[in-house]
Amino acid sequence: MLDWFKRNRVPLLLGCLLLTAMLLYSANLRYHPKTTLFEKIVLQVTAPLHEGLDWVLTSFARGWHRYVWLMETEKEDERLRIENRRLQSALEEVEEIRLSNRRLRDLLDFKERMDLPAVPAQVIAEDVTSWFRTVMIDKGAADGIQEGMPVVAAQGVVGRIIKIGEHQARVLLVTDASSAVSALIQRTRTRGIVRGQGEAMIMEFALRLEDVAVGDRVVTSGTGGVFPKGLPAGTVKRVEKGDFGLFQSVEIEPLVDFSRLEEVMVLLEGIP
Amino acid sequence: MTRVAGFLLIGWFFLFLQAGPVARSLPDGLKPDLLLLLVVFLGLRESPVRGAVLALLLGYLMDVFAAVTLGLNGLVMLILFLAVRTTADRVNTESPMLMVLMAGVGTLFAGLVQAFLLGYFAGQEGLWTMVIRGLPAQVGMNMGTALILLGAGRWIERRLRPDLVRLGLWPRKRLL
């Protein structure tokens, strides 16, 4: 018997490992809204490394860019080129500040309109896979953020907090396929559930006989327990009504440009 | 132990690249799965037990920076490693082009496993259909990335290997 175990110890070990992985996944499926200790530790340990490496790479990219640029200037009048570069860089900086200022002003206006306690945050990383739509923000438990809190941008709904570290948090975007937001068509008050589909979203369970038209604005209904009522979620892009069935198919274009998401606001109290 | 730590460090660096610089410079929703390529490499070159533990840990590390449920990528990476390891004895693992081919087949296989787990275990229908829809583009992206990484790795081996071995940053045995 012992010989058999010794002979088959590698397949047995691998089998045990596979079983453990399956059990862990299965257990986490049940309790997934909670951030596990393992995740908290990894986030805590890697946060300074991430920041450091980001700084190194950004500096390297900047230095490399400058080197390439300088190589080109050899062919032309150096003084004019350097002057031109300095002015261009100053202009770009001003433009960047102007854009950032506008985004922050929009966000501030939005915060004042919302009249809810909120924490501004910067998007620092995206999801590492192509399948899921999540982003990492630079605020965490130390800033009063908790799992389930809604995240918004000046244009509208962004998503909700699903994982938190001490100084970082992960946001599940509304475009993720596992995200569902209770919403309604602003014009006709038709209710439905908005689900993510990667780039776009669809509204499920909108009754077929209800009036929904292309261009209609979709807002949160406030009944899902996460988002406050009236937050803009998107506009209707396409409506498909079959001859049969209870519901119609409504495709929604998000108002927030998720590929350029930089500043967001975490609402500390979801439903007022 | 140094080897395990080295692979974990490479895995973490790959994750950092995927979450930051790579994600920012590529179209939304399409990025190379560098960790999957690392697991395929482990499947072709590592011992079964060490490789399996590494694949599982790398998958868990990926879970922290992706998705919702901890364990999904851990399980997927472990299954992928075991599948690649099983076929590794039957193919010529010395062939560089095999790695590119395995990157494509591995992506397809991992995608199908992930779709299965999401659809049947987690009951997330929207997600598994999205994974299946995005698989062809992901296969192309990963094969292209594997080709680039292979080229870079072979260049390093040809030019810098003796110095890196001396500094203890590269294994004595030829990698690629």
Query: In this complex, do A39 and B63 lie within 8 Å of one another by their Cβ atoms?
Result: yes
Mean pLDDT value across residues B119-137: 80
Buried-exposed string A237-269: b where 16+ CB fall within 10 A, e elsewhere = bebeeeeeeebbbbbbebbbebeebebbbbbee
B121 and A39: CB-CB below 8 Å?
A: no
Domain tally for chain B?
1
Note the ipTM here.
0.74
Q: Find the angle CA(A53)-CA(B17)-CA(A150) to the nearest 5 degrees.
A: 95
Residue B37 lies inside a defined structural domain of this protein: yes
Report the C-alpha gap between B31 and A231 in whole angstroms.
Answer: 31
Q: Which pLDDT band, with edges at 50, 70 and 90, does B171 fall under?
A: low
Alpha-helical runs (H) found in chain A: 2-7, 9-31, 37-73, 78-114
pLDDT attached to residue B172? 67
Closest CA to B144 of B63, B30, B14, B23: B30
Q: CA–CA separation, B125 vs B112, rounded Å?
A: 14
Q: B18 to chain A: which residues are within 8 Å by CB? A: 128-129
Nearest to A187 by CA among A209, A219, A156, A158: A219
**Model confidence, pTM:** 0.72
Chain A residues with beta carbon closer than 8 angstroms to that of B52:
13-14, 17
Query: If pLDDT is split at 50, 70 and 90, which confidence band does B58 have?
Result: very high
B82/A22 CB distance under 8 A: no
CB contacts of A50 in chain B (<8 Å) are: 16, 20
State the pLDDT at residue B174. Answer: 65
Say if B62 falls within a structural domain.
yes
Which pLDDT tens digit goes with each residue over B18-51? 877 777 677 666 788 899 999 998 998 888 888 9
Structure tokens at A240: 């498909």
A residues 144..203 contacting B (CB < 8 A) = 162-163, 172, 176-178, 195-199
Considering chain B, what percentage of its residues have pLDDT values greater than 90?
22
In sign, the C-alpha dihedral spanning B25, B30, B35, B40 is negative
Q: How far apart are CA B165 and CA A221, in angstroms?
A: 62
Q: What is the spatial distance between Cα B3 and Cα B9, in angstroms, rounded to a whole number?
A: 10
Q: Considering only the C-alpha atoms of chain B, give the largest distance between any 2 of them, rounded to a whole number of Å.
A: 52
Residue B78 has pLDDT above 90, yes or no: yes
Contact B65/A at CB under 8 A: yes
The pLDDT-based confidence of B168 (bands split at 50, 70, 90) is: low
Cβ within 8 Å, pair A131-B67: yes
Angle at A65 between CA A64 and CA A71, to 5 degrees: 90
For strands A156-164 and A201-207, give the pairing: unpaired
Q: Report yes or no: B123 at the A interface, CB cutoff 8 Å.
A: no
Per the domain annotation, does B174 fall within a domain? Answer: no
Structure tokens at A255: 């108002």
Q: How many CB pairs under 8 A join A and B?
A: 147
Parallel, antiparallel or unpaired: strands A217-220 and A232-240: antiparallel
- DSSP state for residue B120 in the 8-state scheme: I
pLDDT band at B176 (very low <50, low <70, confident <90, very high): low
| DSSP 3-state of A267 | strand
Candidates B20, B74, B75; nearest CB to A125: B20
**Which residues have C-beta within 8 Å of that of residue A257, sequence separation ≥ 6?**
A155
B residues 74-93 near A, CB within 8 Å? 74-75, 78-79, 82
Write down the pLDDT at residue B56: 92
Mutate to test the interface with B, among A42, A45, A62, A128 (most CBs of B within 10 A): A128
Looking at the complex, does the CB of residue A53 fall below 8 Å from at least one CB of chain B? yes
Q: Give the closest of A42, A172, A197 to B64, CB-based.
A: A42
Chain B nearest CA to A88, separation (Å): 22
On whether residue B173 sits in a domain, the answer given is no
Pairwise CB contact (< 8 Å): A21 & B29: no
- What string of DSSP letters covers A203-266? EEEEETTS---TT-EEEE-S-SSSSPTT-EEEEEEEEE--SSSSEEEEEEEESS-GGG--EEEE
Q: What is the pLDDT along chain A (272 residues), one digit of tens a residue?
A: 778 878 888 888 888 888 988 888 888 877 666 777 888 888 888 777 777 777 787 788 778 777 777 666 666 677 787 788 778 877 877 777 787 777 777 777 777 766 678 888 888 888 888 888 889 898 888 888 988 899 988 888 999 998 888 888 999 999 988 888 999 888 888 889 999 888 889 998 888 888 888 889 999 988 877 888 888 889 999 888 877 778 888 999 998 888 878 889 898 875 55
Domain assignment of residue B99, yes or no: yes
Whether residue B158 is contained in a domain is answered as yes
Q: Where does the pLDDT of residue B167 fall: very low under 50, low under 70, confident under 90, or very high at 90 and above? A: low
Q: Which domain holds residue B145?
A: 2-166
Q: Kindly give the pairing relationship between strand A180-185 and strand A150-153.
A: unpaired
Residue B116 lies in a domain: yes
**CATH code of the domain containing B108:** 1.10.1760
Hey, of A23, A26, A127, A129, which one would you mutate to test binding to chain B, going by the most B CBs within 10 A of its CB?
A129
Arithmetic mean of pLDDT, B124-150: 85
Q: How far is A180 from chain B (nearest CA, A)?
A: 11
pLDDT at residue B29, rounded to an integer: 66
B143-151 average pLDDT score: 89
Q: Which pLDDT score, from 0 to 100, does residue B17 have?
A: 83
- The verdict on B68 touching A (C-beta cutoff 8 Å) is yes
Using a CB-CB distance cutoff of 8 angstroms, which residues of chain A are in contact with residue B70?
24-25, 28, 32, 36, 38-39
| B141 has a pLDDT exceeding 60 | yes
Strands (E), A102-207: 118-126, 134-137, 150-153, 156-164, 169-173, 180-185, 191-196, 201-207
Q: What are the backbone dihedrals phi and psi of residue A119, each rounded to the nearest 5 degrees, phi first?
A: -120, 120
Q: Are A201 and A174 in contact (CB under 8 A)?
A: yes
**CA–CA gap between residue A82 and residue A65 (Å, rounded):** 14
Residue B175 pLDDT > 70, yes or no? no
Q: Is residue B107 part of a domain?
A: yes
